């Protein structure tokens, strides 16, 4: 499939601040590199990275109208966490507007929370968002080392950090975040 990468770049350049634009390019490069190691299509990974935060700076009222128009109902946790909306809206947007394939769409859809039974594409984008070149939190180099060993190792640590931070700030943890964490922690697909 041919991807109109120049069109996607124009789209994010129009929609995102310079800071987040730079982040998107870094995630795209990182997702491509991880794909070369772990075996997803590097071009798809680059596209997913470019577009993963495409609606991150969409005004909240617009996001809510976007969901309402598509009959997408938010759970109470989602209603209380506008930071989760860009993944839900972004996935619907890139599917509708660009007709992108399901592996790219689901990678964008779950790049913020993760979920149980993640695909390779989902794991690669989720991990790339944590370790891209623009990230500089304490411990990021350890995260990069983990990601070279295994995606699950990096994801487990990333999810633990997210759950810790959110609980410190008295924020709700999305069930998909917990499902992703529990599955990796227990070492496989442990339903129920």
Interaction site with ligand DGI (CB under 6 A):
53, 56, 81, 83-84, 87, 111-113, 129, 162, 166, 171-174, 177
- Matching residue, tokens 């772990």: 38
Residue 129, interface with Fe ion (CB under 5 A)? yes
> Which of helix, strand or coil describes residue 119?
coil
> In Å, how far are 14, 75, 108, 132, 164 from 94, measured between CA atoms?
15, 22, 9, 22, 31
Nearest distance from residue 132's CB to ligand DGI, in Å? 8
**166 touches which of ligand DGI, Fe ion, none (CB within 5 to 8 A by kind)?**
ligand DGI
If one asks whether residue 176 binds Fe ion (CB under 5 A), the answer comes out as no
Minimum separation from the CB atom of position 99 to Fe ion (A): 22
- What are 59-65's contacts with CB under 8 Å, separation 24+? 60/85, 63/89
> Choosing among ligand DGI, Fe ion, none, which partner's interface includes residue 113 (Cβ < 5 to 8 Å by kind)?
ligand DGI
- 96 exposure class (CB count in 10 Å sphere: 0-12, 13-18, 19+): exposed
C-beta of 2 vs 59, nearer to ligand DGI: 59
């Amino acid at each position: 499939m041919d991807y109109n990468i120049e069109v996607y770049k124009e789209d994010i350049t129009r929609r995102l601040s310079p800071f987040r634009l730079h982040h998107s390019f870094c995630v795209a490069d990182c997702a491509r590199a991880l794909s070369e190691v772990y075996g997803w299509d590097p071009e798809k990974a680059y596209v997913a990275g470019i577009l993963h935060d495409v609606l991150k700076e969409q005004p909240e009222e617009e996001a809510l109208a976007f969901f309402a128009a598509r009959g997408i109902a938010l759970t109470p946790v989602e209603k209380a966490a506008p930071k989760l909306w860009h993944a839900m809206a972004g996935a619907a947007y890139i599917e509708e507007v660009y007709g992108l394939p399901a592996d790219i769409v689901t990678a964008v859809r779950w790049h913020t929370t993760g979920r149980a039974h993640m695909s390779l594409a989902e794991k690669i984008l989720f991990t790339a968002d944590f370790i891209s070149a623009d990230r500089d939190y304490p411990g990021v180099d350890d995260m990069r080392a983990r990601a070279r060993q295994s995606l699950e190792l990096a994801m487990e640590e990333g999810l633990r950090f997210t759950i810790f931070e959110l609980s410190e700030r008295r924020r709700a943890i999305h069930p998909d975040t917990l499902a992703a964490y529990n599955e990796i922690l227990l070492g496989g697909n442990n339903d129920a």
